[in-house]
Structure 1
Amino acid sequence: MEVRRRNVGDSHSPQRSPSQLLQSFDVFTKMPDDCKKSTSSGGAVTLLVMFVSLLLIISEIRNYVDPKLVYTYEVDKEFDSKIQINIDITVASKCEFISLDLLDLAGSAVYSQGRAKYKKASFELNEQNREAFERRKTVANALRTTHHAVPEMLWKRDSSFTVNSFTDTIESDEIKGRRPYDACNIVGTFHVQKVAGNMHVLPGRPFDGPGGSHVHIAPFVRLADFNFSHRINHLSFGAQVANRVNPLDAVEEISYNPMETFRYYISIVPTRVVYAFSSLDTYQYAITVKNRTAEGNKSDSIPGIFFSYDTFPLLVQVTESRELFGTFLARLAALVGGLFATVGFIRQVVLTVPQVVLESRPGRRWSAKWNQITRKAFGAVNGDIKLHQTPEKGLLDPDSAT
């Protein structure tokens, strides 16, 4: 017997193209359209999930864009640096009767002449400025009351309520002669040593007396000419931070006694603010206020406004903390995927549980009873329809030929 070999193809499989090779790794298999079943309830659930996902994505983006503030503490090692003092105060006394200067415990005196601007003003505000000041005062008081509960507001408040946001625009009324110049607006920036000191507004002009004494001389001025009612528009230490609310911003004190003394005890805390691409060294402070009437029979008791300050040996570092961009993307993916998976699972449970219950023995009995009730109800309805239709069929004329 002769055996012949037929022509057959190569036993090796043909070489696949790169696209076919990639398709072999596809784990996201596609179903034919004929195998898909879309329902109106599924479409409604999908729209709801997309809407909720959009809201959550917007919330995540806002949280990522707005960084968190992290507070850390360490010993302040820069004890030999200088402190910058920024002040803007309006006193209800004429500029020629008062002066502002500083004196630290090291014996160094810093006079305001040439370092601060004395500007004639009216202490009584016009209606527009009074409304603006009261709004700013309300916001500052609210922040001072709640800053222990929400410390980030001290650094994230809008600058329209903070640094130098109140501008005294009463010059137009002054020029027209509607109001007298009965007050003095003092604005200045000073650099002092990082030791305890005293900044004060007192009657007269300051002089260094013998033995290192520091005195103020106010000749030919009556006691009735002094009024130390004042409005602190701004008081800060260090570089000015636009989004910070200071404890003495928008503070107003009214005096009805020319011998009244206002004392502010200030504890200064060095603060370093670290942003994403820069850092800023500044200061925070806390205050204690004590007012009393000066006793004229004591040499060290004179009316005025005193700011006694001292530095704290700890440094507070405020750092902006923002999560990594990769972490942000992972959170978004987990949010959307988890939401779709959870809603899909809930929908599947809602659709499957009734079917399982109906296929059980009690479910079949309930289904049979329900079908009987339904048939009886539909049978009664059909019977009523027939009863109503029967008289209509008998309305033929008996004498009719048909």
Structure 2
Amino acid sequence: MGRGPSILRFDAFSKTVDDARIKTTSGGILTLVCILTTLLLLINEYTDYSRIVTRPELVVDRDRHKKLEINLDISFQNMPCDLLTMDIMDQSGDMQLDLLSSGFSKIRLDRQGNEIGQENMRVNQEFALTSSDPTYCGSCYGAADQSRNDELPQDQKVCCNSCESVKQAYARNAWKFYDGKDIEQCEKEGYVDRINARLDEGCRVRGTAEIARIGGNLHFAPGSSMNFNEKHVHDLSLYDMHSNKFNFDHTINHFSFGLDDHSVADYKTTHPLDATTHRDGRKYHVYSYFLKVVNTRYEFLDGRKVETNQFSATQHDRPFRGGRDEDHPNTIHAQGGLPGVFFHFEISPLKIINREQYNKTWSAFALGACAAISGVLTVFTLLDRTIWAANRMLKDKKDT
């Protein structure tokens, strides 16, 4: 009873007529609960109002005329850098062959994956005799027509003055080059000794390539690439020469499209292949990744805009021998193919714009706050009147 008068002062629910002058303990308690409930609802409304959300919008991609960058960093544990080739082919028929010869860095790896050293991707040292004999014209060993060289001036002769030029001449004819043994230019340049000394190494490739925004594929394969009889083929002579060496076990350290801005990167959608590893130890095996790329722009509250790309990835690998899958007997693989790692990409014609916005506008916050206050007051007013009426009814029954 001692606490009754102090609670009475908090009764905010005025009673009509005579009841309006009466303050009750229950009314004071309800008033305190009403104030706390209203404060909680107002805090919740403000938190919801100030919360920053990202709202996506799907539009037609108007930037399809621009080039698309591919950023990659891939380690091959059992493929020496001298044997590795990377090509890009798109659906329009355009091809970019042997991209590893420019714009990329290669890092030699030992068997434990430790870095040995970095060097220029292109080995194109001129044969030593050219510096001492200006009339020297190296043999192409039948890979190019040199029958008219005696009739032509020096600057018009067909010559193979370096190991690389002989290798390219062999590739144009789809001849097997092996390790360049018994080719004078390769022996003099030290190519034969170098490539045989590195057979047990691995290679890490890093760099950026540009492609048109149309579908195609990027692939890593062994040996020089060439187009022969309207087919894209690789010289597998050195790869086949050593039956107990080489395979395409690999680790994708990083793979992304477009601007690589880590401040906005959602790694589940912009870097889904990062840290992907395959170590099966199979020599004649092909690894395929099927990518669906969507151009994406992030717009921030501070006015900053970042252009990048999201993509999904599906993986598949199979042996060349074909036949039934060991793990899934109902699956029958195709036979043949090219050993390597293939990235098949499909570019979406749509674009996603992710805009940062406040979850609510100021007017929505004001409306929600008013609704919370009026709703709480109405509910607790009805509750107080119900309790008051019930108490009066019980009191009247006792008096009678």
Q: TM-score, normalised by structure 2?
A: 0.56
Q: Which residue of 2 aligns with 1:80?
A: 65
Flag the 1:223–1:330 CA change in 2: closer, same or farther, 3 A: farther
Supply the AA of the counterpart residue of 2:315. Answer: V
Q: Which residue of 2 aligns with 1:245?
A: 268
Q: Which residue of 2 aligns with 1:230?
A: 250
For residues 288 and 33 of structure 2, the distance between their equivalents in structure 1, rounded to whole angstroms, comes to: 62
Is 2:279 the partner of 1:291?
A: no
Aligned residues: 274
Offset at residue 271 of structure 1 (A): 2.8
Query: Deviation string for 1:20-47 (max 9, x for gaps)?
Result: xxxxxxxxxxxxxxx9887765565455
> Do the aligned residues in 2 keep the contact of 1:197 with 1:309 (CA within 8 Å)?
yes
For residues 338 and 227 of structure 1, the distance between their equivalents in structure 2, rounded to whole angstroms, comes to: 73
Flag the 1:229–1:40 CA change in 2: closer, same or farther, 3 A: farther
Unmatched 5+ stretches in structure 2: 1-19, 115-199, 323-333
Which of 205, 211, 214 is the equivalent residue of 1:195? Answer: 214
SS at match of 1:333: helix
> Do the aligned residues in 2 keep the contact of 1:120 with 1:185 (CA within 8 Å)?
yes
For residues 113 and 23 of structure 2, the distance between their equivalents in structure 1, rounded to whole angstroms, comes to: 71
Flag the 1:356–1:45 CA change in 2: closer, same or farther, 3 A: closer
Which piece of structure 1 moves more, 247-256 or 208-217? 208-217
Q: Which residue of 2 aligns with 1:66?
A: 51
> Do the aligned residues in 1 keep the contact of 2:50 with 2:359 (CA within 8 Å)?
no
Offset at residue 339 of structure 1 (A): 5.4
Query: Deviation string for 1:301-324 (max 9, x for gaps)?
Result: 221110011222233333334356
Q: Which residue of 2 aligns with 1:319?
A: 355
> Do the aligned residues in 1 keep the contact of 2:45 with 2:369 (CA within 8 Å)?
no
Q: How does 1:207-286 map to 2 (within 5 A)?
A: 207-209=225-227, 214-217=232-235, 220-221=238-239, 222-240=242-260, 241-246=264-269, 247-276=272-301, 277-286=303-312
Q: Which residue of 2 aligns with 1:115?
A: 103
Unmatched 5+ stretches in structure 1: 1-34, 127-180, 370-402
Is 2:123 the partner of 1:104?
A: no
For residues 269 and 120 of structure 1, the distance between their equivalents in structure 2, rounded to whole angstroms, comes to: 34
For residues 60 and 122 of structure 1, the distance between their equivalents in structure 2, rounded to whole angstroms, comes to: 60
Supply the AA of the counterpart residue of 2:95. Answer: S
SS at match of 1:77: coil
Flag the 1:238–1:319 CA change in 2: closer, same or farther, 3 A: same
For residues 121 and 36 of structure 1, the distance between their equivalents in structure 2, rounded to whole angstroms, comes to: 90
SS at match of 2:101: coil
Flag the 1:93–1:42 CA change in 2: closer, same or farther, 3 A: farther
For residues 54 and 284 of structure 2, the distance between their equivalents in structure 1, rounded to whole angstroms, comes to: 45
For residues 53 and 107 of structure 1, the distance between their equivalents in structure 2, rounded to whole angstroms, comes to: 67
Q: Which residue of 2 aligns with 1:185?
A: 204
Offset at residue 265 of structure 1 (A): 1.9
Supply the AA of the counterpart residue of 2:205. Answer: I
Flag the 1:92–1:47 CA change in 2: closer, same or farther, 3 A: farther
Flag the 1:187–1:228 CA change in 2: closer, same or farther, 3 A: same
For residues 264 and 321 of structure 1, the distance between their equivalents in structure 2, rounded to whole angstroms, comes to: 35
Offset at residue 107 of structure 1 (A): 1.8
Supply the AA of the counterpart residue of 2:89. Answer: L
Q: How does 1:33-182 map to 2 (within 5 A)?
A: 44-96=29-81, 97-105=83-91, 106-109=93-96, 111-121=99-109
SS at match of 1:112: helix
Query: Deviation string for 1:284-339 (max 9, x for gaps)?
Result: 2233332111259x997221110011222233333334356422540453255235
Q: TM-score, normalised by structure 1?
A: 0.56
> Do the aligned residues in 2 keep the contact of 1:261 with 1:294 (CA within 8 Å)?
yes
Offset at residue 195 of structure 1 (A): 1.8
